[in-house]
Amino acid sequence: MSGKLILVPNTLDFGVESAGTAPDLQDVLPLAVIRTAARLEHWVAENAKTTRAFLKRVDAVAPLARALQAIQIVELPRPQKGAKAPTSNDLAALLAPASQGQDIGLISEAGLPAVADPGAALVQAAHTVGIEVVALSGPSSLLLALAASGLNGQSFAFVGYLPVDAAERGTRIRELEAHSRRFAQTQLMIETPYRNEALLGALLAALSPATRLSVSCGLTLPQGWTRTDSVAAWRAAPGQIAKNIPAVFSLLAA
């Protein structure tokens, strides 16, 4: 029998653990997920170092099946700019343990694997070669932000990162607002944390006063918060947003 590709959710506190603000693992992940992670001996990850850190947290709750040093962690190929994308053969090689009956864990740096995450290519490769894919339940910053926003959860789109160039970013924001108005669709986006303030400022500058804007910062963290208000109200009291904690931005045009 072949092994399975198991999508193991990660916590959302990536990058803030050293500040002492990370929640207890059991406060974020179901115990069944932690126990599944503890038994897996083969992993595919974006970063081996951070995956080892995750497994140390797992071990504190459910002892690992093997010593951490003996667990195989292979990193997803990440091509440099201008280089070719990983081939199906490259990805199939990462799934080799499954052909020997071993389950493989796929983990993201934060949240659900393969959702706004490069692991989706490995999931596709697994389906192509007939390997069963099992997704485990866990936090997704996008869905948590959408739920907490009060914006339209019946129709929504994740649009990823916006352009860094100010003019291009402003144009893109107005395009998203027009699309949101036409289809009554919530638009969700993210940014590198140190650009949180810049993105918030760009949104407030480009959006119409009646458009509703929601910001969720530090989801699942003790200091996490969500604010949803009209752009006019945001402009009157913009508040502060952390430069070192991930945030999700959502808009719904009136």
Question: What is the residue extent of each domain of the chain?
Answer: 5-135, 141-252
Which architecture, in CATH terms, is 141-252? 2-Layer Sandwich (3.30)
- Residues contacting residue 176 through CB under 8 Å, at least 6 positions apart: 159, 187, 189, 251
pLDDT at 78: 78
Q: What CATH superfamily is the domain 5-135?
A: Tetrapyrrole methylase, N-terminal domain (3.40.1010.10)
Does residue 19 register a pLDDT over 50? no
Does residue 136 register a pLDDT over 70? yes
Does residue 238 register a pLDDT over 50? yes
Pairing of strands 225-230, 156-158: unpaired
Average pLDDT over residues 175-202: 97
* Predicted model pTM: 0.90
pLDDT at 151: 98
pLDDT at 1: 75
The 10s digit of each residue's pLDDT in 72-117 is 999 998 766 655 666 777 788 899 999 999 999 999 999 999 999 9
Return d(Cα 221, Cα 58) in angstroms, integer. Answer: 18
The 10s digit of each residue's pLDDT in 198-236 is 999 999 999 999 999 999 999 999 889 999 999 999 999
Would you say the C-alpha torsion 145, 146, 148, 151 has a positive or negative sign?
Answer: positive
Backbone dihedral angles phi then psi of residue 206, each to the nearest 5 degrees: -95, -25
Cα–Cα distances in angstroms (integers) from residue 162 to residues 27, 127, 142, 191, 203, in the given order: 32, 31, 16, 8, 11
Please say whether the beta carbons of 204 and 235 come within 8 A: yes
Return d(Cα 106, Cα 112) in angstroms, integer. Answer: 10
Average pLDDT of the chain to the nearest whole number? 93
Q: What percent of the chain has pLDDT over 70?
A: 93
Does residue 196 register a pLDDT over 60? yes
pLDDT at 91: 87
Average pLDDT over residues 9-13: 94
pLDDT at 8: 98
Least confident of 70-79, 140-149, 184-193: 70-79
- Residues contacting residue 141 through CB under 8 Å, at least 6 positions apart: 12, 110, 111, 190, 216, 219, 246, 248
